[in-house]
Copies of this chain bind each other. A is one copy, B any other.
Amino acid sequence: MPLVEGRKLRKITALGGGVGASRLLLGLYEVSAPARLTIIVNTGDDIELHGLKISPDLDIVTYTLAGIVDPAKGWGIRGETFHALKRLAGYGRANWFNLGDRDLATHIHRTALLAEGKTLAEAVELIRTALGVRARILPMSNDPVPTIIESNKGQLHFQEYLVKRRAEPVVQGIRFEGVGAAHPAPGVLEAIREASRIIICPSNPLISIGPILAVSGVREQLRVRKTHVFAVCPIVAGKSLKGPSDKMLVQLGHEPTALGVAKLYADFTGTFVIDPADKAQAVAISALGMKVAVLPTVMKTRAQKDKLARALLNL
């Protein structure tokens, strides 16, 4: 893939969560200079299971850029087997969270690194370089900030809400536990400060982008760089591109529309990117004090991912 002309030496920083973000990230990785790309990833959905420290969003991004992600699911490793998980279930352990055999190696390795005293960021760096990923991947924080869903079924870890209960409970609130004491990982604020273009990926605004924004200093730093911030709307024609964003927005009193997301991002976003399907909302979004760019944001093919990435860098 050709590099975007004249963009080679510009630093690009992207913020994102899991599968939704990884599609655009793959495009950015392809069309920009990976070594100038920094990705700040949500860790609010990290969870400990069977004594293993699992970072689903970090792994989705890393596996995607490494070219080993399962293309059908968008997470996990291509050609994966689940022999260990089946045996874990035989031992009576919870098996609602899918852990493939190859994927388990990542969790075992990360857990061992953390036990040896490495930070999460150091573990991420070792994992992504071992997998040959040339872009820098940063966790939003080295401190655990689990996303807790307050629901009509009680308080649930985000993964319990999403995976175990298939996003069926009614969401009444969202808490990022411990975020008050959490520090951004080393390099996070600098990456926002130094980038010529900051891209908010089309991830769930509440539980993928929301936790990153909640980490001390991140939202403030984005506000300072507002004119350089480009947010890609994860809602198209009133539906999530991926996952339960639309439903969660409604349950928490937000509009499940591009305009609804725009309101959540207006304070720190310079350019809000919507799909042609939502063109009619452009005026209302502009009124929030942002530029509006209309670009095809539905990415199913590799060509669509690259095209959106290239368009974003050329805006």
C-alpha gap A101/B83 in the complex (Å):
6
Which of chain B's residues have a CB closer than 8 A to the CB of A264? none
Q: Is there a chain B Cβ closer than 8 Å to A223's Cβ?
A: no
Q: Is there a chain B Cβ closer than 8 Å to A81's Cβ?
A: yes
Give chain B nearest CB distance to A52 CB in angstroms.
Answer: 7
Nearest CB in chain B to that of A82: its residue:
B101
- Asked whether, in the complex, the Cβ of A81 is within 8 Å of the Cβ of B52, the reply is no
- Asked whether, in the complex, the Cβ of A91 is within 8 Å of the Cβ of B104, the reply is no
Residue among B51, B91, B111, B126 making CB contact with A105, cutoff 8 Å: B91
Known contacts A84-B101, A91-B126; 4 additional CB pairs below 8 A are A83-B105, A84-B102, A84-B108, A101-B104
Copies in the complex: 2
Which of chain B's residues have a CB closer than 8 A to the CB of A283? none
A131-185 interface with B by 8 A CB criterion:
131
Give chain B nearest CB distance to A255 CB in angstroms.
Answer: 43
Q: Is there a chain B Cβ closer than 8 Å to A72's Cβ?
A: no
Q: Is there a chain B Cβ closer than 8 Å to A2's Cβ?
A: no
- Asked whether, in the complex, the Cβ of B109 is within 8 Å of the Cβ of A81, the reply is no
Which of chain B's residues have a CB closer than 8 A to the CB of A80? 83
Please encode chain A, from 51 to 93, with 1 for each CB lying within 8 Å of some chain B CB and 0 for all others.
Answer: 1100000000000000000000000000011011111101111
